[in-house]
Structures are given as structure tokens and as C-alpha cells.
Amino acid sequence: MDTVELTYRQALSLAVAEEMRRDPSVLVMGEDIGASGGPLKTTEGLFEEFGPARVRDTPISENAFVGAALGLALCGYRPIVEIMFADFLGVCYDQIVNAIAKHRFMSGGRMDVPLVIRVIGGGGLRFGAQHSQTGETWLLPIPGLKIVAASTPEQAYGMLKSAIRDPDPVVFIEHKALLGTKGQVHVGPDNLLPLKGTNLVAEGDRATVVASLAMVPKALEAAEILAGEGIEIDVFDLRALRPMQTGDIVESVKRTAHLLTVEEISLVGGWGAEVVAQTVAEAFDYLDAPPMRLGLPEHPLPYSPPLEDAAIPDAERIAAAVRDLLA
Amino acid sequence: MAQAGRTRRTKADGKALVALYREMARIREFEEQVQKSYLEGLVHGTTHLCQGQEAVSVGVAAALEPNDRLTYTYRGHGVCIARGMSMAEALGEIFGRVDGVSRGLGGSMHLTDAGRGLIGSFGIVGAGLPCAVGAGLAAQLDGKGRVSVTFFGDGAANIGAVHESMNLAAIWKLPVIFVLENNLYGEFSRINHTTTVEDLADRAAAYAMPGVVVDGNDVLAVKAVAEEAVARARAGMGPTLIEAKTYRHRGHSRTDPAKYRDEKEVKAWLARDPLVLFARQLVKEKHATKADLDGIVEEARAEAARAAETAAASPWPEPRDFTPETFAAP
């Protein structure tokens, strides 16, 4: 197995290219993902290598091409469809939650639905309220979907490969602000990361912080700030939102007695609430303080840079929340 | 299409025509049985019957091969029977029993059987078209001459997914046949209140594909236009929109007495009952006697009654962990 330095964006393209070479039933569809390499260059090189039959530019018709992915999946293909901005999940919500998520179940388990919905989301780039959401809360309550959120190039590569090989529908959430980040990636034909579980990315015994997507590097930054003050914390990257496995988080909280979740979305109905609920159910007697959650305020994300920056949790606010939690 | 009825036919043709009548009668009697079973408390929730529209399911199915694929709607029992789903499997599902085609997890609105090409039955208006477009793309990529067919109603004609799907099928020249069953009512609303065009087939022009209007109560006319559309699709010439003008004899769903319909309109359409029209033609052309056809209806009624007995005798499913039905790889 080789280790190479890749950007998050390169890791995504490489994962798809490798799986397309391996399996001729894999194909990609989306808006401007072909000849142009993708509006955010997350499908670069695919069109040149695999051609227009397998790397298909679509009209702006999320309902049609996401729904078409279901038809392809039922007929022996493994489509990857790309939603250019997670916000547009709203446009094809019916196809995802009523058709794709339920199809296998309603058939009595007789039909497999192997498809990947790649979704690029996230704020911090001044895109305003309709182009900055991560979208996971909209899909979290739907049985039948697997939902993963990649925060590093390594995860982008390994989890996307797993998602493509998986026999179930997987929503693969990517973050715009992470596309250019670099990291070491263990590349190899079968270097797969499981579509469930968490990664422990910092260790300490004073508090347990759980983050996902772009909140992970911010939580790590907060961990460094706090370490300078003598406060060591566990940081978990919740890289799989569904199925959600909180066993390692629960064990951590049993040691640290303090829990903070950090998500880039409003708190009501978010995954943070679920992590807290599951942890409290399992580790109530171990907690020294009520769990805390950080997230977006109860208004749409503003455009103006100082306002957007104030809305999205950053390392200082995460560190401050941990101090409050321990106070 | 009109000539189809006048062409000289051989004895073998006559047999095939009577077989079409039998399929229509089986659908009619199946739906009548569902209604009867509903009154006996065996059918739960709601159900959407297709009496009056049998010629569309049967005429289109007659133009297809076993490996073609279909998506359809909550009013889809007729398509399933026409593609060979057994009445007992279908009724078992509608009764919510363990021997139903989906073990009771789907219900009346979601009868499917991929082995018969019945890949998707959609409860959301217009939602089955994108799936059929995907199946059409699969067929095109496979290069084996398959087609996909999607049935939908006039009520779906104004929802976005329908237009997005037609456009996608048209730009990629996919082998998809869009079968719009225009029964004049989208749920309780008459079409002239929801749509400005007289013929919904006109909408095909927006996607540069053929749009054909056909008498949906004439099974041979439906079969003829379906065969033409299927031939185009198999030849790589792309999709076709077929608008079959028809009428549902019953209300939208089991709680709807359809009081919003004009009595004269109902009477006129009942006089054009597709089974009555086709029976008249078969007798006139001496392919069958009235007694033969009555016998076929009796057989279909008995088949449906037996299937209902079988289905009603099937146990209820046990509540258990349904993870294996929800995920292939939990």
C-alpha cells in the first residue's frame, strides 16, 4: 500500500477513477461534471479517461437524474450522481426519501439499490443562505439511507470507494471548504474505509468533543489551544452519520465526564442531538455536566463575511465552550 | 390504427385477440375482487382501482418482450397482472399477508417483481418517470435492444419530474415509452381545471419527440401505437409519448364516490367500456361467440375469487427486525 499526499479534491477523483477502472458498471452523472471536470473540480480527469457514456453531463434536472440513478441501480449499474450544492437536495428530496431510500424495503428486500449521491455542502465561502448548507439534517431521519461525511483526503478516498462498492444507497457529503486541504492518503485498489464508525483524532481525558466535516479541523485547532492551557481533550470525527455508532464516544465520555458536539447546521434535529441522546442513555451516571452542543444560529446563514464568520463555530468558540463545560 | 380492426386475420390471430380479451377480463375481475374484498375488511388503508383502463395496460404489455422494464403508479394493479404477476401474490400483498409479493411490506400501491420487469410502483404522482429513464439508460448502455415503459396519469402531467424525465430521455435518445393514461381526472379535479391543452400529447413537441393520441379504450389501437413506439425505441430513435384517452369507472381511491363527475359523462364512458367494445368486435369478426367471452369472464372471476381465498388464508407477517429488508449490507 502506497502513501501519497493528495488534496481532498484529488482524493475524490482518484477514488472514482479507480472504481470505474475496476467495475464497468460504475458511471457518473451530474451537472457539468464531464468535459469541464466539475464546477468545483471534484471529477477532474474522469471524462477524459472514461468518455461521455460513463461520465454524463446532465441538464439542471436533479429530480430526473437522481431518480434515473434508481432505475440504473435496479438494472445492474452502480451510478454515482453529484448534487452540485447540498442545498439542491431539496430539489430532489422526493426521489431520495420516498423512492431511493424505501425501494428495497417496499419490495420486501428483493431489490438492491447500489448508488451513491455525492453532495458538496458547507459554509464559510460567502455563498449565502442557499449555497452553504450541509444538508445532513434533512436526510438523517430517513431509514434506508447510509450517510457519510468526509473530513480528510484519506476519508474522502477510502469512504468514497466503499460507498461505490456498497449495495445500498449512500449519501456522501463533501465540504467545499475542505476541497483544497492536503493529507496523506493510503492508496491502493482495495484500501476501503468502513461506512460506519468514528475516528478518534485527538486524545485527552478532560472532555469529549464530537465534530464532523469542516468542524473537525476546527475542533482539532481548539484541542491545541486547550492543550496550551493544560486541558487535553478527546476529539472524535463522526464520519458516518447513518448508521450512527456512538460506542467509542460513550466509552470516552465515561472517562472524561464531559461531552460537546460541534456541527455546521442548526441544532434542532441535528446529529448532535442524537449523539447526546445516545450518550446520555448509555453514560448518564458518568456525566459531570449537562452535554453541550454548538451549531449554527436560528437564522439562515448570512452573506456578509463578518456575519458568516460569526455564525459558524470556530476554534476559539469551541475552546470557549469546552472551558464553560468544565467550569 | 383504425385499420387494425379491419385487416383480415388468420385463426392464430383470432386466438391472440381472444387472449388479449382474457387479460383485460382478468384485470377487470381482479379489481372487482379487490373492491369486494375491501368491503369484507380484507383490504386496508386505501386502494386505487383501474376498471375502465384495462385496454391500456393490456395493449402496451402486448407490445413488450419479457426482458423489458416498467414503472407505474399506485393505480398499477392492471400493469402487474398484464405482466404475469399471479393474482394470489398481488392480493396477498394488498391484504398485507406474508405470502404477498413483497411479504406485506409494500401494499396495494407498491406491487413489484423485477423478474417480470416490474421494477417500480410509485405512490408519489410523477415519481416513476425518472426511474424509467434510468432503466432506459441502462438499456441503451447494455445495447441489447430492451426498452423501458412508464405509465402515469393526466394528474402527473403538471409535475416537474415528468418534464425533467421527458427532456432527459429526449436529449439522450433513450428507449423509453411514456404512457400517459388520461382518465380526465387528477384525483378529484377535472383536467380542464388544471391544464390548458386539449391533448397532453402536445407536450411531446417541447421535447422534439413524437406525441401520439390514442383511444385508450381500444386495446388494438393501443397495441398498435405501442408497437410503433417500441420499434422506434429499439431502433435507437428515442422516446415516444403516448396519450391514451380513457376513463376510470370508479373514484380516485376507495373512499371516493366520484360525485364530482357529470352523470352524462359517466354514462357515455361506461357505454365505451373497453371490454364491451372489444367483445363486440370479437363476436362481429367471429373470433369468439358471446358465450365464449362470457365464459372467459366467468373463469377470470373464479380465478380472482380463488386467489382471494388463498390470500386471505395466508398468515399475517410477524413484527421482527426488518434490517435485512432495509439494507442489503447493514
The pLDDT tens digits for B25-55 are: 999 999 999 999 999 999 999 999 999 999 9
Query: B325, A109: Cβ pair inside 8 Å?
Result: yes
Q: Is the pLDDT of residue B199 over 60?
A: yes
CB-based burial, A108-120: b 16+ in 10 Å, e otherwise: bbbbbbbbbbbbb
Answer whether A53 touches B (CB < 8 Å): yes
Query: A167, B329: Cβ pair inside 8 Å?
Result: yes
Q: How far apart are CA B269 and CA B200, in angstroms?
A: 19
Residues of chain B in contact with residue A108, where contact means CB-CB under 8 angstroms, are 100-106, 325
Mark whether A299 is an active-site residue: no
Reported as a single tens digit per residue, the pLDDT across B113-160 is 999 999 999 999 999 999 999 999 999 999 999 999 999 999 999 999
Crossing angle of helices B54-61 and B274-284, in 10° steps, is 60
Strand partners, A296: A266
Three-state SS annotation for A110-155: CCCCCCEEEEEECCCCCCCCCCCCCCHHHHCCCCCCEEEECCCHHH
Crossing angle of helices B290-313 and B274-284, in 10° steps, is 140
- Average pLDDT along chain B: 95
Please state, as a whole number, how many other Cβ atoms lie within 10 Å of the Cβ of residue A20. Answer: 21
Say if strands A116-121 and A170-175 run parallel, antiparallel, or are unpaired. Answer: parallel
Query: A144, B327: Cβ pair inside 8 Å?
Result: yes
Closest by CA position to A222, among listed A201, A194, A195:
A201
CB-based burial, A258-296: b 16+ in 10 Å, e otherwise: bbbbbbbbbbeebbbbbbbebbbebbeebbeeebbbbbb
Between positions 55 and 84 of A, the ones with CB within 8 A of B are 58-59, 61, 63-77, 79
Q: How far is B148 from chain A (nearest CA, A)?
A: 10
User: If you measure CA to CA, which chain A residue comes closest to B109?
Assistant: A106
Rounded alpha-carbon distances, angstroms, from residue B18 to B52, B72, B219:
18, 25, 11
Closest by CA position to B132, among listed B70, B179, B76:
B70
Closest by CA position to B60, among listed B243, B277, B247:
B243
Query: B127, A166: Cβ pair inside 8 Å?
Result: no
Mark whether A186 is an active-site residue: no
Residue with cell 452542543: A293
Answer whether A109 touches B (CB < 8 Å): yes
- B197 torsion bin: left (phi>0), alpha (psi -120 to 50), beta (else): beta
Strand partners, B178: B150, B241
| Confidence bin at B5 (pLDDT 50/70/90) | very low
Please give the pLDDT value at position B4. Answer: 44
Please give the pLDDT value at position A98. Answer: 98
Q: How far is B273 from chain A (nearest CA, A)?
A: 33
Q: Could you tell me how far CA A205 lies from the centroid of its own chain?
A: 26
Closest by CA position to A140, among listed A104, A117, A171:
A171
C-alpha cell at B267: 354514462
List A44, A82, A131, A274, catalytic entry: A131
Please give the pLDDT value at position B283. Answer: 97
Rounded alpha-carbon distances, angstroms, from residue A112 to A78, A165, A166:
11, 12, 10
Query: A64, B119: Cβ pair inside 8 Å?
Result: no
C-alpha cell at A12: 475524490
Please give the pLDDT value at position B28. Answer: 98
Q: Would you call A210 helix, strand, or coil by DSSP?
A: strand
Residues of chain B in contact with residue A114, where contact means CB-CB under 8 angstroms, are 328
Residues of chain A in contact with residue B113, where contact means CB-CB under 8 angstroms, are 110
| Confidence bin at B274 (pLDDT 50/70/90) | very high
Residue with cell 396519469: B153
Say if strands A207-211 and A259-266 run parallel, antiparallel, or are unpaired. Answer: parallel
Tell me which residue in A71, A75, A143 faces B326 most closely, judged by beta carbons: A143
DSSP run (H or E) holding B190: strand B189-190
- A37 torsion bin: left (phi>0), alpha (psi -120 to 50), beta (else): left
Q: Is the pLDDT of residue B6 over 60?
A: no
Q: Is the pLDDT of residue B2 over 70?
A: no
Residues of chain B in contact with residue A73, where contact means CB-CB under 8 angstroms, are 134
Residues of chain B in contact with residue A67, where contact means CB-CB under 8 angstroms, are 127, 129-131, 133-134, 161, 165
What ipTM did this prediction achieve?
A: 0.96
Please give the pLDDT value at position B258. Answer: 87
Q: Is the pLDDT of residue B1 over 50?
A: no
Which stretches of chain A score pLDDT less than 50? none
Please give the pLDDT value at position A39. Answer: 84
Residues of chain B in contact with residue A109, where contact means CB-CB under 8 angstroms, are 103, 105, 324-326
Tell me which residue in B131, B328, B330 faces A67 most closely, judged by beta carbons: B131
